[in-house]
Amino acid sequence: MQTVRFEDLGRLSFQEAWDYQTCLHRMLVDNKLKNRQQPAGSYTQEHAFLLVEHPHVYTLGKSGSLENLLLSAQELHTRQIDYFPINRGGDITYHGPGQVVGYPILDLECFFYVLLCSEY
């Protein structure tokens, strides 16, 4: 049985949350590699679901276009808004105070394995 650990990170800069997600993802992948001889879902995996609120930030996904960011670097600086290009999909996304963002860090193969096996 797979479990997901929920963490409320409160308000955290995008960079801090990104670094933490990267660390959790690396641990998940390392554990998967260590257990690669076992069927997915048959070993304990470190799944997480993070909740966080960011200060003002725009992110640009790898499928997005910088042309869609309507503020100049100077305007971002003046308004104290961070900007981060990221390696996920999507275009320009705004996150800010009062908005809770959820970040799943999951090995989906473990969940699909459990679902497939439970049908038999």
Secondary structure (3-state) at 87: coil
Name the CA dihedral angle for 86, 52, 54, 61, rounded to a multiple of 10 degrees.
20
pLDDT tens digits along 14-51? 999 999 999 999 999 999 999 989 887 788 898 999 99
pLDDT tens digits along 50-98? 999 999 999 999 888 888 899 999 999 999 999 999 988 889 999 999 9
Kindly tell me the burial class for residue 58, based on how many C-beta atoms sit within 10 Å of its own C-beta (0-12, 13-18, 19 or more): buried
Q: What is the pLDDT of residue 6?
A: 97
Q: What is the pLDDT of residue 113?
A: 58
In angstroms, rounded to a whole number, what is the distance separating the alpha carbons of residues 75 and 52? 25
In angstroms, rounded to a whole number, what is the distance separating the alpha carbons of residues 59 and 63? 12
Nearest one of 114, 88, 92 to 103, comparing CA atoms: 88
Query: Is it the case that residue 102 has pLDDT exceeding 60?
Result: yes
